[in-house]
Amino acid sequence: MQNRKKPPVNLDEYIQGEKRKYITYEAGARLYSMPYWTFVKVAKEANATWCLRKTAILDMNVLDKYLDEHYSVAREDVNYAREEVIKMARGRKKVENIEELVGSKAKKYVRYAEGAELYSMGLHTFESLAKDAGAIRRVKGIVLVNIERIEAFIESFAEEG
């Protein structure tokens, strides 16, 4: 008995005449700047997906046509999008004149990034220095470093002359 498997599909013949672009879900989500699962849902709604063995690809022509018909762009101004990104809240505020605040004893504790900037050293170096000096205080998930202890620890290494 002969093994009668179908030969693999010749994609060149299928694509002939039309310029089609196929892309994976991950690359498509990046291309459209969408969350991955939102993009997968939209692609499935558009019936643009092709399931291959362990992966799925989608036809960009079908997806673009679907998006043009069913979704509208709220605002196409590119500068508007950039302004929104700039206006987004940051995790931490950058302290402008930190040297003056620490020098005038107005600020006794700093975070790792501020201390590294204050002492002109890398973040990991400052972290290890603070741990060695015993200057770390943890308050509700925030690590604060006592500047007075850091200065005393650094001064203990002074060379006798």
pTM of the model: 0.39
Does a structural domain hold residue 107?
Answer: yes
Name which of 58, 50, 61 is nearest 19 in CA terms: 61
Burial class (CB in 10 A: 0-12, 13-18, 19+), 150: buried
**pLDDT tens digits, 106-145:** 678 888 888 888 888 888 999 999 999 999 998 888 889 9
- Looking at residue 125, what is its pLDDT? 92
Range of the domain at 148: 98-155
In the chain, pLDDT over 90 holds for what percent of residues?
11
d(C-alpha 35, C-alpha 118), whole Å? 38
Does a structural domain hold residue 83?
Answer: no
- Looking at residue 149, what is its pLDDT? 92
Does a structural domain hold residue 5?
Answer: no
Does a structural domain hold residue 41?
Answer: yes
- Cβ 66 vs Cβ 45: under 8 Å: yes
Number of structural domains in the chain:
2
**pLDDT tens digits, 26-58:** 888 888 778 888 888 888 888 888 887 777 888
